[in-house]
Amino acid sequence: MRKVIFLDRDGTINVEKSYLHKWEDFEFEINAVEGLKKLKEMGYEFIVVTNQSGIARGYYSEEDLVKLNNEMTKKLKEFGIDILECFYCPHHPEKGIGKYKVDCNCRKPNPGMLLEGIEKYGVDIENSFMIGDKKGDLEAGKKAGLKSILVLTGYGKKVEEEIRGKYAVAKDLLDVANILKK
């Protein structure tokens, strides 16, 4: 069974920019690549789980999103880091247009994307984690039976106080690696 780190994307892997959808605007978060390298050395594999309501709202298309994720995956591969799969939720229960206006099970804090990843890749949930910068990430992880860790990049600092004592907190992805090493 595989030890997997489930990763939120915006604010966790890359710098949070409202409704990012162009590769030219993509910037890795501080210590993200270094952290992923270290986690890989520790035997973890990676799955990305990202809410993309910008699709539901009509700001960009699923094609745009897949293209951006592919660029990111390619860049990470150059650093020796493989992503098993990028799952995304294109829905929004209220703001969605047409077929995207769905109260789905994949939009975090719902655990749909994580459960799909766990099933598809035979994930060892006892030794796997969900990492993100929002409360919804942490809750989705918990609902899927994983331990969740907040990173203080992205929106992390804003939610730190609220979740302290309930979830583990790390400065960034490199700090996640350091914490899991202990």
Tokens 């799969």, residue located: 85
Residue 107 binds which entry of Mg ion, Zn ion, none, with Cβ cut-offs from 5 to 8 Å by kind?
A: Zn ion
Nearer to Zn ion, 91 or 134 (CB): 91
Nearer to Mg ion, 73 or 127 (CB): 73
Nearer to Zn ion, 27 or 62 (CB): 62
Residue 139 interacts with Mg ion (CB under 5 A)?
A: no
Measured from the CB of residue 21, what is the shortest distance to Zn ion in angstroms? Answer: 17
- 45: enclosing H helix or E strand: strand 45-51
C-beta nearest to Mg ion: residue: 11
Q: Which of 4, 6, 7, 8 binds Mg ion (CB under 5 A)?
A: 8
Measured from the CB of residue 170, what is the shortest distance to Mg ion in angstroms? Answer: 14
Strand order in the sheet with 168-170: 83-89, 45-51, 4-7, 129-132, 147-151, 168-170
Q: Which of 5, 11, 92, 180 binds Mg ion (CB under 5 A)?
A: 11
**Contact by Cβ (8 Å): 46, 5:** yes
Residue 29 interacts with Mg ion (CB under 5 A)?
A: no
Between helices 135-143 and 112-121, what is the axis angle to 10°?
Answer: 50
User: Tokens standing for 147?
Assistant: 């331990």
The Cα–Cα gap between 46 and 120 comes to: 13
Residue 141 binds which entry of Zn ion, Mg ion, none, with Cβ cut-offs from 5 to 8 Å by kind?
A: none
Catalytic sites, residue numbers: 8, 10
